[in-house]
Structure 1
């Protein structure tokens, strides 16, 4: 009789914990429903109902070479920015993880200050640096590396440079945490077993840091897909990206149907990329990296 009572009490306790868990999660679920699910559903409905019901907006998007070129610009620049951010950010994150804590704090503070500086101000600063009479072109000409100023603004080169600078902290921060958590004894053991420095890097450090690389790369790529300010100022109308096109549809042309269709395509692609990364790394490893 006592065993039956204990089993019943345990079952009631489990049900109570389950109920209280849902009660605690309810505010977050309501927040997601109101501020994410409802707007996305509204966007989808507008994309198939305005200006007339049907899939005409999607047919126009994928049937126009101009719009397809904008999609190509967006994904190409996002991929290049992600790759450059990872290649540049990994050594910086490694340096922050192994250098003395006092100097690491100084570098980390500089990194945070760059993130907290106004985005528009940073983009205008890059416009000044990259223009034909800017510091970069003048320095290259004074060094004799070039004869004529390089075209670094109003093209995708300038967009890539500006966005890479802005996105770097979003790779460095998760990578630093992952690298710092790696036990140095593992690298020492690899070295004692005869591994060279290159082998320690490629076969030990990089595989262990992959969760941070994946989390940072996913964050940078997704943010780059929807970036607006930097491409608009450094790229110009001739090198438009998807966020600029959506803004033009909504603000200038007041065509919510086309804007909603473009935004929904961007959302679906982003979710597909996230799903692929979950498949490759798993939610636990991505969470560890983030």
Structure 2
């Protein structure tokens, strides 16, 4: 591969051609691993969605034509959307606070965020089961403050799933937002204030538009991860509030319904790719990186 450098840039009278090594040779081992351990299994699974138990689209018809399965799809997208919105509402002020707070305090908050990410997912989910149950700390505090008369049902429903997943997803939206907000020149906000903009106007008309690429990147990450989450919905939601990842696991674990599992996986994959394409269309790869 070669790179052409304009002579005007170099201040010379000719074009200089710089030779670079062939990058494909350097990435070949990674591409082979990706092909063998990701692309090939996905292709096999998706092929079985139209060949198992018989050739055709019967699995997709059964999946999309059943009210039971449609309810699972609705639960999945509803929870993923609510978790994404709540994560944005909580994550944006936290990211902004990380930018403006003193360095040592920001370091402590970062350590807490990273610690929550490094803690075992199963342990965090069980901790929320203890906190949210009828005799848990949250219900006891609410009753002690006389905000409720009897314990709330916060587990084995979508409320518990939303609370647990929001806690887990928050770091994944705070960190991209922090990276984008940190690059915003404070002089821009100062200039807006000098021009007569109030705090609310500075937030809505200056800070939010500049931080939009980070918000979009974080929201996409949280939404896509929420669509495919399994452990937290299974433990906090129960069988009556199943989500799509649990349905796929049931199909595959039975070892006799790979076709339906592949069909459900393909639907999830298509939704993910469409969301990513929409984001690239409106923000582009450079803006998603905050540049």
Normalised to the residue count of structure 2, the TM-score between the two structures is: 0.92
- Cα deviation, residue 288, structure 1: 2.7
Q: Give CA deviations for 1:73-116 in whole Å, capped at 9, x if unaligned.
A: 00010000000001000000000011011110011111111111
Equivalent position of 2:72 in the other structure: 70
Q: Which runs of 5+ in 2 are unaligned?
A: 1-14
Q: In the alignment, which residue of structure 2 is the partner of 1:190?
A: 192
Deviating above 4 A after TM superposition, structure 1's stretches of 4 or more consecutive aligned residues are none
Alignment deviations for residues 246-275 of structure 1 (CA, whole Å, 9 cap, x no partner): 111111363111111101110011100111
Query: Residue 173 of structure 1 is aligned with which of 172, 175, 178?
Result: 175
Report the equivalent of 1:126: 128
Aligned-residue offset at 1:48: 0.7
- SS of the residue aligned with 1:150? coil
Instruction: Give SS of 1:194's match.
Output: coil
Cα displacement (A) at 1:35: 2.6
2: CA distance, partners of 1:288 / 1:265:
30
Residue 20 (structure 1) aligns with: 22
User: Which residue matches 1:104?
Assistant: 106
Indicate the residue corresponding to 1:160 in structure 2: 162
1:57 to 56, 59, 71: 59
Separation of aligned partners in 2, 1:27 and 1:281 = 31
Q: State how far apart, in whole Å, the 2-side matches of 1:55 and 1:23 are.
A: 40
Determine the C-alpha separation between the residues in 2 that align with 1:261 and 1:282.
Answer: 30
Separation of aligned partners in 1, 2:38 and 2:220? 20
Distance in 1 (CA, whole Å) between partners of 2:113 and 2:243 is 27
Larger relative helix fraction = 1
Matches of 1:117 and 1:209, distance apart in 2: 29
* 2:6 paired residue number: none
Residue 147 of structure 2, aligned match among 142, 145, 148: 145
Taking the aligned partners of 1:199 and 1:285, their CA distance within structure 2 comes to 23
Superposed CA RMSD = 1.7
* Distance (whole Å) between structure 2 residues aligned to residue 80 and residue 190 of structure 1: 33
Q: CA deviation at 1:170?
A: 0.1
- TM-score (normalised: structure 1): 0.92
Partner of 1:237: 239
Structure 1 residue runs of 5 or longer lacking an equivalent are 1-9
Q: Quote the Cα distance in structure 1 between the aligned partners of 2:160 and 2:91.
A: 19
Q: Secondary structure at the match of 2:190?
A: helix
Whole-angstrom distance in 2 between the partners of 1:98 and 1:228: 36
Residue equivalent to 1:31: 33
User: Residue 156 and residue 245 in structure 1: after superposition, are their counterparts in 2 closer, same or farther (change >3 A)?
Assistant: same
Render the CA deviation track for 1:117-161: whole Å, top value 9, x for unaligned: 111011001001100111111111111111111110000000000
Is the counterpart of residue 261 in structure 1 residue 252 in structure 2?
Answer: no
Q: 2:250 aligns with which of 248, 251, 259?
A: 248
Deviation at 1:59, TM superposition (A): 0.6
Aligned residue in 2 for 1:6: none
Residue 222 (structure 2) aligns with = 220
Give 1:7's aligned residue: none
